Amino acid sequence: MSKRRVLRPLAHVPLDLALQGGGSHGAFTWGVLDRLLDDSTLPIAAISGTSAGALNAAVLATGWVDGGRAGAQAALRSFWGDVAARGSPSGGCFGGSTGPSPLKPDLAGYNLDTNPFYAWMAPWLRLFSPYQTSTAGSEALRQVLQRHVKPQHLQRGPIDLFITATAVRTGQPRVFDRHDLTIDALLASACLPTLFRAVEIEGEPYWDGGYSGNPALWPLIYNSRALDVLLVRINPLVRPQRPETADEIADRINEITFNAGLVAEMRAIQFVDKLIEQKRIAADEYKHLRLHVVADDESLAPLRASSKLNTKPDFLLALHALGHAAADRWLSQHRGDVGRRSTIDLRGDFLAARQAPPAAPALRLP
């Protein structure tokens, strides 16, 4: 097999970022962003983020205005340090859980399934809604965001942000941009309905954006000049093992639900790309995106949904290290592809096309 030729990087080709949500697993994305910000030749044009991805995006953009790339790195480091010190931004209070023992060095030790307090809380959350309890809700997260995010920087800064929340009444995505991006919008994007009461904005209640776009790609397609989009994925698409216990089934349903919107958008992008390649539609009328992904499914595979509430400092730092290493690998292998070609195969690598239905059966041409 011939070795893939590594291309010389093109300088100053704009790149869009698409950041998934996933509770404390967003520290993986922090590591990815920390490494990407080291490359001064890679401009960030716009960021689409959901939930934890939205928080990372807002903190980065705030720090960028205050101090450029170094300011963005410092802002992210300060934000995640605050999260570790004060408990989970998604409402958890399990930061004191036990990490991996010397006999169990993998990340599975950070799962909270055996934590007594979590075991007590889990059935409680299934029986009672946030409207039936007197918890502080998202107030802790609001206080953290007020310390690390400046809405005026998001509205006037050089990086366009697109933050997705889900309208409770319609189930449709609401994308907040520099014209209406506030602390409340960030809270809405990260509002898990089993933990928080819906965030009301202009009379409309909102839940976590992951239900309608994790993250949404279409705002980048319609509003950004960049043709390269880098997805930072922290929710696995594939689980080889069959879930059998109630908790395993619930975890897998959560993963499928929070990936559904992204998979649908990827399928639509692949369909348009195919039509462009076959010259059935004009290439100058549609964006022919170059797509890239940073992920580490193998390392994150041992983590259960419960770990998304774990904010133990060494866990967040371990996730940061994994994200930093994953981004470093991507830069080493694919930095030269930015501005030239996609580095993922949508049909083979992302969509499992052999098992998936056609992208848009009603639009199939003879």
Instruction: Supply the pLDDT for residue 354.
Output: 45
Q: 60 with 72: CB under 8 angstroms?
A: yes
State the average pLDDT for the chain: 83
| pLDDT above 50 (res 278) | yes
Least confident of 36-45, 51-60, 186-195: 186-195
Of 340, 333, 238, give the one whose Cα is nearest residue 293.
333
Looking at the chain, list the stretches that DSSP marks H as alpha helix, in order from N- to C-terminal side: 26-36, 52-86, 116-127, 139-148, 151-156, 183-189, 218-223, 246-277, 297-300, 313-334
The whole-angstrom separation of Cα 15 and Cα 252 is: 31
Instruction: Supply the pLDDT for residue 327.
Output: 97
Instruction: Supply the pLDDT for residue 34.
Output: 98
The whole-angstrom separation of Cα 11 and Cα 31 is: 22
What are the angstrom distances between the C-alpha of 162 and each of 103, 174, 186, 215?
43, 10, 10, 9
Instruction: Supply the pLDDT for residue 100.
Output: 43
Instruction: Supply the pLDDT for residue 288.
Output: 80
Tokens 């996730």 found at: 319
Over residues 244-256, the pLDDT tens digits come to: 787 778 778 877 8
83, exposed or middle or buried, with CB in 10 Å at 0-12, 13-18, 19+?
buried
Percentage of residues in the chain with pLDDT exceeding 70? 79
Instruction: Supply the pLDDT for residue 78.
Output: 97
Instruction: Supply the pLDDT for residue 267.
Output: 80
Tell which wins on pLDDT, 261 or 26: 26
| pLDDT above 70 (res 122) | no
Instruction: Supply the pLDDT for residue 101.
Output: 39
The whole-angstrom separation of Cα 330 and Cα 345 is: 15
Over residues 299-320, the pLDDT tens digits come to: 998 898 888 888 999 999 999 9
| pLDDT above 80 (res 179) | yes
Q: Which residues pair with 291 in a beta bridge?
A: 229
Least confident of 92-96, 115-119, 183-187, 322-326: 92-96
Percentage of residues in the chain with pLDDT exceeding 90? 54
Q: Which helix (H) or strand (E) holds 175?
A: strand 173-176
Instruction: Supply the pLDDT for residue 65.
Output: 97
